[in-house]
Amino acid sequence: MRKTLTAALLAASLLTLAACGNDTDTDPGAAHNEADVTFAQQMIPHHQQAVEMARLAQTRAGDREVQDLAADIEAAQDPEIETMTGWLDSWGEEVAGSDMPGMDHGNMPMGEMHGMMSAEEMADLEAASGAEFDSMFLAMMVAHHEGAIEMAKTEQADGEYTDVIALAEDIEKAQTAEISTMNELLGS
């Protein structure tokens, strides 16, 4: 059931992203606002950290379901990073990343950037393996996803660029479903 739901959400997200990327009727420099820019600039490093966490699961997770979920997360978020990077480039805005001033969130405590893990939390996750890793990964990724959902809701309320709003809607739907799966795996 989980694989079918995750695959369906991933397919819907990729179709939406493909439609966004092939939208020749829309000038990417037009009809966007500061909320759209902020969403993309913040969601890129947020997704990058989720991908980093997901990659750790491939060698450290003890449960195959955790590894599969992590692979699904990586497969969904890598293309979204590319899409958001393209929007920022087309708008003439800085692309978020570790080299962008003010965008290094690695040392921020969890919660200051909507679910981002601190450097210490990431180090603890990297040092764990097996069942300990699985529990840490799932709990951290739930918090991480809750932060992304909060950011997505803000974009939906304040954004202007329809493709960004559509991506925010997809992120909210997909990550809400993944939180449900992670809570099941945690036994919550």
Averaged over successive runs of 10 residues, the pLDDT of the chain (188 residues) comes to 49 46 48 94 96 97 97 96 96 72 39 81 97 98 96 97 97 97 92
Q: Is residue 23 part of a domain?
A: no
Instruction: Judge whether 24 lies within some domain.
Output: no
* Residue 114 confidence (pLDDT): 82
Amino acid found at 27? D
User: What pTM did the predictor assign?
Assistant: 0.79
CA-nearest of 136, 147, 149 to 182 is: 136
Domain, as residue range, for 54: 2-18+31-186
Residue with tokens 């918090």: 143
pLDDT at residue 30, as a whole number = 60
C-alpha to C-alpha distance for 155 and 50, rounded to whole angstroms = 19
In a domain? residue 134: yes
| Helix/strand/coil (H/E/C) assignment for every residue in 103-149 | CCCCCCCCCCCCCCCCHHHHHHHHHCCHHHHHHHHHHHHHHHHHHHH
Within 13 A of 93's CA, how many CA atoms are on the CB side?
23
Domain CATH code at residue 173: 1.20.1260.10
Residue pair 56/125 in contact (Cβ under 8 Å)? The answer is: yes
For position 127, what pLDDT does the model report? 97
**pLDDT at residue 154, as a whole number:** 96
Number of structural domains found in the chain: 1
Write the CA distances from 105 to 57, 98, 101, 112, 114, integer angstroms: 21, 8, 10, 9, 11
